[in-house]
Chain A
Amino acid sequence: MVQPLGTLKESASQTAGPYVHIGLTPNFSGITGVYESDLGATMVNDRTLGRRITITGRVLDGTGTPLKDALIEIWQADAAGLYNSPSELRGSADPNFSGWGRSATDGENGEYRFETVKPGRVPFRDGRLMAPHVSFWIVARGINLGLNTRLYFGDEAAANAEDPVLARIEHRVRVPTLIAAADGDSYRFDIHLQGEKETVFFDI
């Protein structure tokens, strides 16, 4: 026999189901008066540093139909490339920027929306800089374990070209699935759950 490791198993995931909004965006779903506002609805205030941007898009199933019951959370660095987290040891992030946001897709057209700032660059494990990116986490009815992906910016071609994560995508034809189309300060990022245009998802 050997010494036991004493480790536990992670609680298994289950789908968020069709009524995820009751718990995570109750005001959005019409349950008002319990919480003042929905958590993660606002990422910036008047004093937040950096360039204001908007990220919108849809989540599409294998037939190209938008999900009207998905919930998306994003996590990103501030304009200087620092995360608002106790585990961020490189410096203090902008106190007026949470770095975290939550948006339900619209019940009519399936659109999600985030008002945020363009993130600065942060280092990969070996110290090389990654291109500016936003981490996405997607849950919905029919998704058994939350899906992780990243948004990169269409107007950061040079940084994207040297990004160590994008460089690991063997099938280069799939790289564009992670690049949001830029239109001024607006970025559009559709997420395809399956099929020919399937978005690259990560095991992080």
Chain B
Amino acid sequence: MTDLSNRKPETGAFFSRDRLWHPPGLTPGYKTSVLRSPQKALLSLDGTVSEITGPVFGHAMLGELDNDLIHNFAKPGESAIGERIIVHGRVLDERARPVAGALLEFWQANAGGRYRHKKESYLAPLDPNFGGCGRTITDEDGHYAFRTVKPGPYPWPNGVNDWRPAHIHFSVFGHGFAQRLITQMYFEGDPMIWKCPIVQTIPDRAAIEQLVAALDWGNTIPMDARAYKFDIVLRGRRSTLFENRMEGN
């Protein structure tokens, strides 16, 4: 693990999480949350060294095809079937500063909405050239990019006729364990977004719209792949002015 930046490491505690913006634990429209949500209040804890530190990953751990889902599971000379897209964007913090060296991991279904997972039984077929996982690390300016096929919507046993919108799951590490975040990216214009009980766990429409990637025509590669732009915002952190100075020090 290496620090990718020459900047002085930041050690301030993180801004408190806005839990009216995030989904609450109990969201009965999403049935599995009913038995998996705590019923007692959370215990508030202003960040100690245990929360403001976190693992940092170096670019050296990445394989050449880690950010290319079209090819990283495909047989030599073959590629995954589906709408070829590039997903790119920046990881920023709440102060709008780039988060360099952030590890992003993503996973998704194939173009037909089928996941490569033993517990998945949807009748849409697997694509023999598509695994569905990838990862990358942001550069000095917080930029990332990967290429994949656009996932299909898929049905799930929640309501009688519930379907997930097309989505890509994102797991994000910032610089502190308290910044750890998993979210989902949706696609501009998908009417399924507004029917989904998982999307609707988020109470604020503006928070949902922040998870919808825009079609980025400017970065679309002619005759090859369309681009979608998806920025991710992690918690900001306080400056360390007047912090942690014990009396007498």
Contact = CB atoms under 8 A, between A and B. Distances in A.
Interface of A: 6-24, 26, 29-31, 33-36, 39, 61-63, 65, 67, 69, 73, 75-77, 83-90, 98-100, 107, 122-127, 130, 133, 135, 137, 139-148, 150, 165, 168-169, 174, 193-195, 198-204
B50 interface: yes
A12 B21 contact: yes
Given A10-B18, A87-B11, A204-B47, 14 more contacts: A8-B95, A9-B94, A11-B234, A14-B183, A16-B182, A19-B107, A19-B120, A69-B119, A83-B49, A87-B52, A90-B49, A122-B48, A130-B48, A144-B25
B190 interface: no
Interface string B22-56: 11110100101111111110111111111111111
A6 B156 CA distance: 40
B238 interface: no
B198 interface: yes
Classify the interface of chain A: helix, strand, loop or mixed: loop
B44 A202 contact: yes
A20 B94 contact: no
Interface of B: 1, 3, 5, 9-11, 14, 16-19, 21-25, 27, 30, 32-40, 42-56, 61, 63, 65-66, 72-73, 92-96, 105-107, 115-120, 131-133, 135, 169, 171, 175-178, 180-184, 198-199, 201-202, 204, 206-208, 210-211, 232-236, 244, 246
Nearest to A170: B43
16 contacts: A6-B95, A11-B210, A11-B232, A11-B233, A15-B198, A35-B133, A62-B34, A62-B36, A84-B55, A85-B176, A86-B56, A88-B53, A142-B33, A144-B30, A194-B35, A201-B38
A144 B183 contact: no
B246 A142 contact: no
A150 B43 CA distance: 11
Contact of B55 (A30, A98, A148, A199): A98
B50 to A, nearest CB: 5
B225 to A, nearest CB: 20
A31 B133 contact: yes
A195 to B, nearest CB: 7
Contacts of B45: 165, 168, 202-204
Given A62-B35, A198-B38, A87 B30 contact: no
Contact of A75 (B55, B93, B119): B55
Contacts, number: 278
B101 to A, nearest CB: 9
B187 to A, nearest CB: 14
B182 A14 contact: yes
Nearest to B243: A125
A122 B49 contact: yes
A81 to B, nearest CB: 9
B21 to A, nearest CB: 6
A11 B10 CA distance: 21
Contacts of B73: 31, 33-34
Given A23-B107, A124-B48, A203 B118 contact: no
A195 B37 CA distance: 10
A12 B23 contact: yes
A203 B95 contact: no
A16 B42 CA distance: 20
A10 B63 contact: no
B23 A14 contact: yes
Contact of A203 (B19, B21, B27, B61): B19
Contacts of B56: 85-86
Contacts of A18: 117, 119
Given A17-B169, A204-B47, A23 B106 contact: yes
Nearest to B103: A39
Contacts of A7: 94-96, 236
